[in-house]
Amino acid sequence: MRRAERTRRSGILLHPTSLPGESGIGDFGPWAYRFADFLAEGGMQLWQILPLGPPGAGHSPYQAYSSIACNPLLLSLETLAERGWLPPDSLRAAETYPESAVDFERVIPRKLGLVARAAEAFRHSPSDPLRGEFLQFCDRHRFWLDPFARFAALRALNGNAAWTGWTVGAPASEQDILDQKFIQFELFREWGLLRRYCAGRGIALVGDLPIFVAHDSADVWANPELFDLDGRGLPRAVAGVPPDYFSETGQCWGNPLYRWDEMERTGYRWWVERLRVLLEQVDVIRIDHFRGFEKYWEIPAGSPTAAGGRWVAGPGSRFFEAMERALGPLPFIAEDLGYITPEVEALRDAWRFPGMRVLQFAFGDEAADNPHKPFNFARNSVAYTGTHDNDTTAGWFEGMDRPGAAVEIERALRYMGVGAEGAAWGLVRTLFASVADTVVIPMQDALCLGSGARMNTPATVGGNWGWRLRGDQMTPELAERLRALNRIYGRLPEGPAGGQA
């Protein structure tokens, strides 16, 4: 029997909003292409992102008001000007923005105002060369685009309030709906161009699929029969997780739960279309909270914490069988962190989905069988120093003297004279040296940045999702340092481009 070939590869986790740029937030414009070049120069083969949807509460990409649509803030103003939809002088900001963080309160009104101007310009240009492509996009994506565009237009009419509280009864104008469709068309077009560029540089894109969707979303508004809602359209129970590493009382996410029986009755059509679109955008999909397909944590609506919830059976393999029949082979990564049972592991392994391993979880548990210890890594896994929910590795190390932290490793490293930066890079090197086929590091860890660069702190509201990379941090020296790790540990792309025989 011929031995299956294995590919050792590495990647960087960086959400597009974290890219540099002059408009105060990262987007699909020139800096995204420069980042792709940086990845290629470093011998990295993966660019992992967070969900691309339009964020709702707290600017979280995991609470988007559509599970399929893209975030309008990701549109490149430079590209809109090049197409003639914005005057060149509109790119000059009236004020400067922080380089290392997104000032959402200032960025959102200015950028969305310019996006609206571009949509209006396209609407008044019937002979625009992209008109035919736009109409084809609208027809191909009718299933989700029509309800989303209407929802987004109505949401704007109601001051962006949650749909259960809408008071403006007038229907959205066809003009407003058309503008919303154009915005999505241009977002998908720009992302498609970027994806093709990445592919040309040997970089695959890893997307993110939250298992649950926000209650205030086009998905729930347009398909209430698929969700467990009461007569007022409010959730009867919500999603979350029991007490874990991140929170002693668990996490209450607030997402409505699915009516899996109704989903199955429809052949999981909503899921099929959701995944079909995502597979047009990325090469690999990380399934956030994979364990929810085996059992999910049901919390009674209105509960102050997640501690009083209960486990309820999910659809299990029936779901993945339906997805495979409709979409073919499933390029999934199973986010199998937290409380994982043998049943969850069996579901993951039955489908041969790689699981996740996180080095920051290796040191607080002295048990020899801790799966996050490097000597326990499986080859078929994706290993991280930390995720978007962790502190940066340098920040995590610096905070190890807090009560309850793994002080034994902190003392050992300090005894050896290793500071926070050395510890962070040491764990990066440990990751690359591991047997895991795939390793991914947050860009903050490649830069050995402290806690000020943290992307998200679970179970907190405000102050998250805003970190940004500065352009001068993508240095040739850092690219060479990453390339050296890839070369030493057999993770460079094969062939002339990677320099590996």
CA distances from 382 to 278, 337, 393, 436 (A): 20, 12, 17, 6
- Which domains occur in the chain, in start order? 9-223+259-294+315-488 (3.20.20.80)
Strand locations in 121-250, DSSP E?
204-210, 237-241
Compute the distance between CA of residue 49 and CA of residue 368 in angstroms, rounded to an integer.
32
Q: What is the pLDDT of residues 339-380, one digit of tens each?
A: 899 999 999 999 999 999 999 988 776 678 899 999 999 999
Question: Mean of the per-residue pLDDT values for the chain?
Answer: 92
Catalytic center residues: 288, 335, 389
Phi-psi region of 407 (alpha: psi -120 to 50; beta: other; left: phi over 0): alpha
Residue 461 has pLDDT above 70, yes or no: yes
Tell me the two tokens of residue 417: 């004279």
Compute the distance between CA of residue 372 and CA of residue 455 in angstroms, rounded to an integer.
21
Residue 409 has pLDDT above 90, yes or no: no
Q: Name the residue with tokens 């990677």.
A: 498
Tell me what pLDDT residue 240 has. 93
Tell me what pLDDT residue 251 has. 87
Q: What is the pLDDT of residues 313-348, one digit of tens each?
A: 999 999 999 999 999 999 999 999 988 999 999 999
pTM as predicted: 0.94
Residue 420 has pLDDT above 50, yes or no: yes
Tell me what pLDDT residue 499 has. 46
Give the single-character DSSP code of 171.
P
Burial class (CB in 10 A: 0-12, 13-18, 19+), 178: middle
